[in-house]
Amino acid sequence: MRVLLTGATGVIGRALARELVLAGHELAVLTRDPSRLPDRFPYPAQAFPWPEGGSPPVEAFAGVAAVVHLAGEPLGEGRWTEEKKAKMRRSRVEGTRELLQRLHEARGRLAEDAVLVSASAIGFYGEQGQRVLTEEAARGDGFLPELCEDWERESAACTLRTVILRIGVVLTREGGAIPTMYPAFRAEIAGPLAGGRQWMSCIHLHDMVAILLAAISSPSWSGVYNAVAPEPATNAQFTRAFSGRIQVPAVLPVPALAVRVGFGEVAIEVLASHRVVPARLLAAGFVFKFADIEAIFEDLFEGPGEDLLVRDQLLPGPIHEVFGFFSDARNLERLTPPWLHFEVLGASDADGAPRPADAVVEGMLLDYRLRLHGVPVSWRTRIERWNPPFGFVDTQLQGPYALWHHEHLFHEVAGGTLMRDRVRYKLPLGLPGRLVAGGWVDSDVVGIFDWRKKAILEHFRGNHGPQPA
């Protein structure tokens, strides 16, 4: 199946693209600047230009079975100045109109029974207090409800089967609300907003992607659906679940006035009560993996005080060759920035018997030496899991971190191998360690993986030519 995606570089777009690619589907992407897409979108896709104020090329729709429209000026980033609100309207209302005009012109090029899946937001409902809001509830009052209504009206004009998803607060460690809030919670300076009685309707990114996939593949789905978890939480419940999972107190209340001063007009939405439920999804038989806020946070935070880095990278080589490169521990020196002076000292079995570093196996111990900001550091790693050619896990036994757990995953996709690095790490000394060194450690980790990405790509490009588009 060929899927055309807008908003591909956003949190939801990237997660959806990954699942589509892993399932063997073909992707086309509409983007402002196709030349920049490979740096922000590490999945095999054909990129087409969609200039601001213009129309996408008709060629982008050839053979497309589903158009997933997620593009738009972010609603929750920055203050709602008049310029910001104009961009929100321009990107969501006029942008949807431009997309659908070209879609209708290209109708004959689409696959049979093509579908449009278009985003909206639960901001449609506005402030409605304690009222339970199904898809039948009336639109609220204010800028965002009016914007959502106009946005949905454009999508509803499509002559294809059309699914409109009113999306709640999407929760993931990879972007959006959680990374924004996490520093305040971790520093123990967070608490309920304006008393915490207002309702929040959230959804785990995993379930959000599952809903999008179901919308594409379910011929009976049509019209508006609330894309939220079945059990809303009050802001106070959200705060308790978050702080409880990371095991820090969150008892400093934030007055409504402080929110209004800090956020400006967007505070209307921050403080609004959205007790939204997914009535139509439940009636359609959709099963949520994370039905309430406790389940969501239990999945997002595996341990208190942990930071998380997730990176996907597309490499132009077959999976057995990519995995083989990582089967030789000596290649770690090639993947580490020179300023770290990284050196592999040796490898051994669990009982201490030496073994060759170019034949990694499960349970193997690896000893390194490096310098962090000029300070000599010894590091010992154990290979916790070894599953060729699909992945392996290494964990720090001795070294500078209280926790370093690095999961490497490999998937064969069109034109190459999709590699994912997922690193959980934690500084020693808890909150004091985080306050003293957290900023530069996070910067170091990101810088190291940025350098590593380029080094890996240069190696495989040298063997296989340019990275697949």
In this prediction, residue 77 carries a pLDDT of: 78
Last residue of a domain, one of 270, 300, 330: 300
- CATH number of domain containing 11: 3.40.50.720
What is the C-alpha separation between 252 and 254, in angstroms, rounded? 6
Residues 68 and 217 in one domain: yes
Q: Is residue 469 part of a domain?
A: no
In this prediction, residue 396 carries a pLDDT of: 97
Last residue of a domain, one of 281, 300, 319: 300
In this prediction, residue 464 carries a pLDDT of: 55
Q: What are phi and psi of 341, to 5 degrees?
A: 50, 45
In this prediction, residue 430 carries a pLDDT of: 83
142 bridge partner residues = none
Upper half-sphere CA count for residue 165 (Cβ side, 13 Å): 28
Number of C-beta neighbours around residue 22 at 10 A: 13
Residues 105 and 160 in one domain: yes
In this prediction, residue 467 carries a pLDDT of: 42
Domain count for the chain: 2
Please give the helix or strand (H or E) that residue 463 lies within, else none. Answer: helix 430-464
In this prediction, residue 54 carries a pLDDT of: 86
For residue 44, give its domain range: 2-300
Last residue of a domain, one of 265, 300, 335: 300
Residues 33 and 164 in one domain: yes
**Residue of 39, 256, 218 lying closest to 115 (CA atoms):** 218
Residues 351 and 240 in one domain: no
- Supply 293's token pair: 């806020």
- CATH number of domain containing 427: 3.30.530.20
412 bridge partner residues = 417
In this prediction, residue 257 carries a pLDDT of: 83
pLDDT along the chain (469 residues), means of 10: 97 98 97 90 96 90 98 85 92 95 94 96 95 97 95 96 98 93 88 92 98 98 98 96 92 84 82 95 98 97 91 95 93 93 93 89 95 92 96 96 97 94 93 82 94 93 54
In this prediction, residue 463 carries a pLDDT of: 64
Residues 212 and 325 in one domain: no
Q: Is residue 341 part of a domain?
A: yes
Phi-psi category of residue 465: left, alpha or beta, with phi > 0 → left and psi -120 to 50 → alpha: left
